[in-house]
Amino acid sequence: MSIGNREHCRKSGNEPRRRVGRLLGGLGLLLALGTAAVVEGGLPWSLGSEPVPSLAPMLEKVTPGVVNIAAASVVQMTENPLFNDPFFKRFFELPSLGRPRERVQRSLGSGVVIDAREGLVITNSHVIGQAEQIRVGLSDGRILEARKVGVDPDTDVAVIRIPGENLTALSLGDSDGLRVGDFVVAIGNPFGLGQTVTSGIVSALGRRGLGIEGYEDFIQTDASINPGNSGGALVNLRGELVGINTAILAKGGGNVGIGFAIPVNMARRIVAQLTEYGEVRRGLLGVQTQDLTPELARALGFSAPEGALVSGVVKGSAAQKGGIQVEDVIVEVDGRPVPDSASLRNAIGLVRIGEKVRLSLMRGGKRLEKEVIVTLPSKETVEGGRVDARLKGATLETESLPPEGDEGILVKKIEPQSPAARLGLQAGDRLIAVNRKKVQNQTELSEAIGSVKQGLLLQVMRGKENLLIMLR
């Protein structure tokens, strides 16, 4: 080897040592001065006296405010119809049961203390469901009995109350200020293991159209979220609550890096109504809307297909009184952009009855501002057996102004083992049509059924699924 080559190797070997020495020397100086160095992206070289990056100081303050929830409810078991046949009962010597068989259903999840003095805990609706017993486990080992304050299945938000002694509440952040790429931490009780912390970033914002809940505006994150994390906290690096973990996208049921959280700004408005009324009292505009496609945008003279196109206005509704017209394009609600019809539904769904909203809309190339007071639709409840004996056991509810995007007659309740239950109807279904004839109220339903002497074909919407049920 030549002298020149040896000199090159010697310099190459020493240079990394020099760089490391300079780095350690600089780090030592920073620690001596009591300062914290921060690298690009927000991760610190030091936190207090710790010479390495750590989220521990923040988590020590936050984790006491995240709780584990165990809920128990009694559900009725579905029996095979053959077991009700007298022949099969005698042949197999089956006992005659005077009441439906029941079993206890248990679920595990998480929750977040949001008011230490009042003992208020926010969680997911699907965690506590119809629970008759709710127990909350704190990080200090205490197990407390909780009672239900209110539940809103449409946003999957629920509030429970525990004895307010020595509790730690999380401070609420501003989910509207989140950006894709912000660091976040998920805290919860995955698989019932106990309190677990995972970290990641905000992967996307404003996720809608997933079919998970009625009102969707999710934060998407790659922080590991698994079954049992539901209702837990999604916090930023300041320890502020920015979301309530609620769902994952995974065929096998485990984490694949796609999790969803309810924005805290949406959740806090729901919590305010649940704590005041025990339910969410939503107002309605009384419009039918659709997304503004590129073709429709060009036809209406828009440069970009953003906004909710009004395709119908209900007579006597708040929208009609406020001067909203067909072919208007609503682009903002109270100053917040409305990119599509789902965004409009979410925005109005968070407004209380009687509140005034300011709508910005485009009409004929001009921007207009309208103020509308959202109203409460009138409802009428009827027992299905009064309409037709085959619908006995179904409690039906009609609305003068159905929620935006909904139509038909709501099946509010189904009595077990009733004729309506044996047909396959379920609570939450909507009766859309009878023998292809649309129905929106009791009068139309009675006329449609009364005009048919033999079989009836019911069109039913269950979630986003369209079903056909034959009545004989």
Q: Average pLDDT, stretch 151-156?
A: 90
50-91 pLDDT, tens digit per residue, is 567 788 889 999 999 999 999 887 766 555 555 555 655 555
Instruction: Please tell me the distance from the alpha carbon of residue 362 to that of residue 365, in angstroms, as a whole number.
Output: 6
pTM for this prediction: 0.66
24 pLDDT above the threshold of 70: no
Higher-confidence position of 456 and 171: 171
Q: How confident is the model at residue 227 (pLDDT cuts 50, 70, 90)?
A: confident
Q: Average pLDDT, stretch 112-121?
A: 94
- pLDDT of res. 467: 85
* Most confident region among 179-183, 205-209, 285-289, 372-376 by mean pLDDT: 179-183
- pLDDT of res. 83: 53
231-266 pLDDT, tens digit per residue, is 999 999 999 999 999 988 766 666 678 899 999 999
What is the token pair recorded at 162? 């525990």
In the chain, the amino acid numbered 188 is G
- pLDDT of res. 33: 37
Instruction: Please tell me the distance from the alpha carbon of residue 407 to that of residue 312, in angstroms, as a whole number.
Output: 13
Q: For residue 49, indicate whether it is catalytic.
A: no
What is the token pair recorded at 176? 């509207």
Instruction: Please tell me the distance from the alpha carbon of residue 117 to that of residue 366, in angstroms, as a whole number.
Output: 51
Higher-confidence position of 456 and 24: 456
- Catalytic residue (choose from 46, 126, 317, 360): 126
- pLDDT of res. 339: 86
Residues 6+ apart with CB under 8 A from 266: 155, 175, 215, 217, 346, 350
Reference 112, options 276, 270, 227, 242; nearest CA is: 242
- pLDDT of res. 200: 94
Q: How many CB atoms lie within 10 A of CB 390?
A: 18
Instruction: Please tell me the distance from the alpha carbon of residue 6 to that of residue 219, in angstroms, as a whole number.
Output: 57
- 338, 342, 347, 350: CA torsion to nearest 10: -170
25 pLDDT above the threshold of 50: no
Instruction: Please tell me the distance from the alpha carbon of residue 189 to that of residue 108, in angstroms, as a whole number.
Output: 8
- pLDDT of res. 185: 95
Range with the poorest average pLDDT among 38-52, 101-115, 181-195: 38-52
- pLDDT of res. 40: 44
What is the share, in percent, of the chain residues with pLDDT greater than 70? 78
- pLDDT of res. 102: 67
Instruction: Please tell me the distance from the alpha carbon of residue 146 to that of residue 109, in angstroms, as a whole number.
Output: 14
- pLDDT of res. 78: 54
**Average confidence score pLDDT of the chain:** 79
110 pLDDT above the threshold of 90: yes
411 pLDDT above the threshold of 80: yes
- pLDDT of res. 342: 84
- Catalytic residue (choose from 46, 110, 152, 156): 156
- pLDDT of res. 130: 81
178-202 pLDDT, tens digit per residue, is 999 999 999 998 887 888 999 999 9
Chain mean position to CA 374: 22
Range with the poorest average pLDDT among 3-17, 112-126, 139-153, 211-225: 3-17
What is the share, in percent, of the chain residues with pLDDT greater than 90? 29
310 pLDDT above the threshold of 60: yes
What is the token pair recorded at 17? 């040592």
- Catalytic residue (choose from 230, 341, 343, 400): 230
CB 198 within 8 A of CB 186: yes
Q: Average pLDDT, stretch 282-303?
A: 82
Q: For residue 8, indicate whether it is catalytic.
A: no
Helix, coil or strand: residue 391: helix
347-396 pLDDT, tens digit per residue, is 888 888 888 889 999 888 888 999 998 887 667 788 888 888 888 899 98
Q: How confident is the model at residue 408 (pLDDT cuts 50, 70, 90)?
A: confident
- pLDDT of res. 15: 44
CB 50 within 8 A of CB 36: no
* Helix ranges, 177-317 (H): 264-277, 294-299
Q: For residue 85, indicate whether it is catalytic.
A: no
Reference 286, options 256, 320, 260, 261; nearest CA is: 320
